[in-house]
Structure 1
């Protein structure tokens, strides 16, 4: 039916008005997705009440079909660091589209890609070369290949709870079994160690068969922050045993943590830095491996190996223009400083909540990457309610926070990972004071409600537990 409607639209209007087509089929949003795509995702949205049908996005805000405004604290898992539809990025893309540029000639080199590489290396001056990709996972895949080619070694070391992507090589470096189940065997030679454990890292490196150690400076799944000496120690150990030190900054980079790169908090200089997500400006997917010259030259070491690794759409003009515009906005709007400033304010507010509310166990974060961890309470009534909920599904309590935030306070947030007790904030870096007031007021109200047993929050918990039990029986 969709194809027939599409053909009809093309016949009736040779200009192909995509907005008219979109408006015409909007009422079928969830039905179409269930029929032709991921029905389980639609069922999740309907179960937790997130099926409001977002119709517009601008900056840090979303609007649903009824016109209600929401504050987005997910930002597309960090993609929309500039917010949605930033005018500078849109203007750059429109300019490229209107210029009839010779895009993706392949048997040529692109000026735009060279300019973006030059600009990135101005922000990361200890590295020398850039390799562009289409996504974060593809960036990780490139890093695996570069590390093995450079060192001649097979193994890649990664950490528990890590998330580096879902393609096969990246999935082999994923520390959460829920993503791996049913897809094994994965890439051989991938060695998992505990995060924040230098002794375990040294043991894994000591055999001198590791090509690289790849690590998120702050782990996205849980917002886990390393000890002050961990990353410096990891870099020193990699140098000692001849492995490459790779920082996955796909989520933490480009101002997210109050520095351009999160590694700047600890003064380390990895052999490779991986970025993606925010570099797109929220419009055109793009990723990049920033690396040392000797690594690049090991991979592309002869003319007959000039195309030994690549990607058809990498370096496309729209992605490169989006990246250049994004870096311009980050600098011109002083977003790194704003991230640090607003992040510090929110962390203080959440730390104060941790002092007032026994269900809040810890608050972690840097800049605008913040985790609020909930845990078992001390008081008997709350403890009984908590234990009952956890029996059905570990981590279910966090939905008692995120669902009322969404329904009652129009804040879009989610847990930091499967089975996690941490709610993660990953908002656009353009937050203002009114947004911070909105966040603080809303979280305080919802967390206060969660301490009332019986109460509306725990009634919701009963409903969610019932769904969890039915799903378990079904499996």
Structure 2
């Protein structure tokens, strides 16, 4: 069926799914029709190889179609397991919970969901139910998902616009600002402070003492600290959890994305036992929160296989080593290229921020393209990376000047060579005015003006 209907790939989506997504892909030349993936690589309809630095927004920490995960899933399918017997419990779910909690021994229970957004929704309910308080604090510029509860904690107005009103009693504070956090917590009406240890939109890293001090403030005012590790967890930053960089022990940890092994969606809430016991406190409340498919055997097997592969292949160590190398390279660009303003990251979660240059000629070019659409300059980097260097990357968010890299944790030295060569060429070309990059910029500006 796939081979027979391949020629209709974009037509089917235009007719029956998201036409605007197809229009966007065609406008920027990303309609190459990827047909297979292996490890950190993608292959298009012409069998050209690309290096994927998006990893499905962090899903493919092990790369695509990892052999051990596939083997585990096939074993479950071949075992004729009963699966989803709602009046029983799953052995695989019990084993996965046990293994996840080994990474955070200060937590006592696990709750499984189908996605990161579902994990956030569960955390909101657990926090309110355990504390008896209504308020949820979140950080400006945060991203926690797009379902209604998660969207209510979303710091990007572009996602919220048109869907208000959000959930009541959700309060935003500036990220990395302890004074603002304490002012809100001191009302003693806040059930939880939900925070990404490193903000995904823009790769914003807190100052070294922030998360530990936030944990102290939460304890002082009776508020739960919830670490959203949906993107930063499972080794992305060179530690199993990003909070480990700062020695913080949250009351809840949220996981998803990479835990799937890239095959079966799975999310998890790891929580202190007393919180869990407050929610599931009687036999008649044993199902007070749940999700039909959340503990299905395929998802649990994918999670177990992922954890085993992370350890067996030293993926977390590789993320730390390769991340250190790439960060050093990108930081070295700051002094050599005017457009490169800042570089941030830990492990293989890296943000390269571009900004207004000093020289008159480059500044005029920057002003021209940014006047059409804020953040458009970054496309002068990402599009040549894709078309000329076969690297898939993306801007960090709406109207952002930061390109975020989330490569699979299995990338090699040769892959890092590829990344460095490609970025050096693309960024160098952006400094040549007039030049090919700026011709592309004019074309993009034309598309943007037509769209508006």
TM-score class, shorter:
over 0.9
Q: How does 1:3-82 map to 2 (within 5 A)?
A: 21-82=1-62
Q: How does 1:7-406 map to 2 (within 5 A)?
A: 21-406=1-386
Residues of 1 paired with 2:24 and 2:184: CA distance? 40
Q: Which residue of 2 aligns with 1:9?
A: none
Q: How does 1:440-455 map to 2 (within 5 A)?
A: 440-455=420-435
CA RMSD, Structure 1 to Structure 2 (Å)? 0.4
1:417 to 376, 383, 397: 397
Residues of 1 paired with 2:77 and 2:104: CA distance? 29
2:408 to 428, 432, 436: 428
What is the SS of the residue equivalent to 1:47? helix
TM-score (norm 1): 0.95
Unaligned runs of 5+ in 1: 1-20
Residues of 1 paired with 2:324 and 2:346: CA distance? 8
Residues of 2 paired with 1:191 and 1:73: CA distance? 33
Q: Which residue of 2 aligns with 1:12?
A: none
Residues of 1 paired with 2:147 and 2:388: CA distance? 37
TM-score (norm 2): 1.00
How far does residue 124 in structure 1 lie from its aligned partner after superposition?
1.4
Residues of 1 paired with 2:423 and 2:74: CA distance? 39
How far does residue 290 in structure 1 lie from its aligned partner after superposition?
0.2
1:407 and 2:407 aligned: no
Residues of 2 paired with 1:250 and 1:182: CA distance? 26
Residues of 1 paired with 2:451 and 2:422: CA distance? 31
How far does residue 430 in structure 1 lie from its aligned partner after superposition?
0.1
Q: Which residue of 2 aligns with 1:3?
A: none
2:437 to 457, 464, 469: 457
How far does residue 114 in structure 1 lie from its aligned partner after superposition?
0.1
What are the superposed Cα offsets for residues 346-373 of structure 1, whole Å, 9 maximum, x if unpaired? Answer: 0011011112101000000000000000
Residues of 2 paired with 1:49 and 1:126: CA distance? 48
What is the SS of the residue equivalent to 2:335? helix
What are the superposed Cα offsets for residues 107-150 of structure 1, whole Å, 9 maximum, x if unpaired? Answer: 00000000000000111111110000000000000000000000
Residues of 2 paired with 1:141 and 1:103: CA distance? 24
1:437 and 2:421 aligned: no
Residues of 2 paired with 1:416 and 1:275: CA distance? 20
Unaligned runs of 5+ in 2: none
What is the SS of the residue equivalent to 2:163? coil
How far does residue 439 in structure 1 lie from its aligned partner after superposition?
0.1
Residues of 1 paired with 2:17 and 2:385: CA distance? 28
What are the superposed Cα offsets for residues 21-71 of structure 1, whole Å, 9 maximum, x if unpaired? Answer: 111000100000100000000011001100000000000000000010000
How far does residue 444 in structure 1 lie from its aligned partner after superposition?
0.2
Residues of 2 paired with 1:452 and 1:203: CA distance? 49
What is the SS of the residue equivalent to 1:443? helix
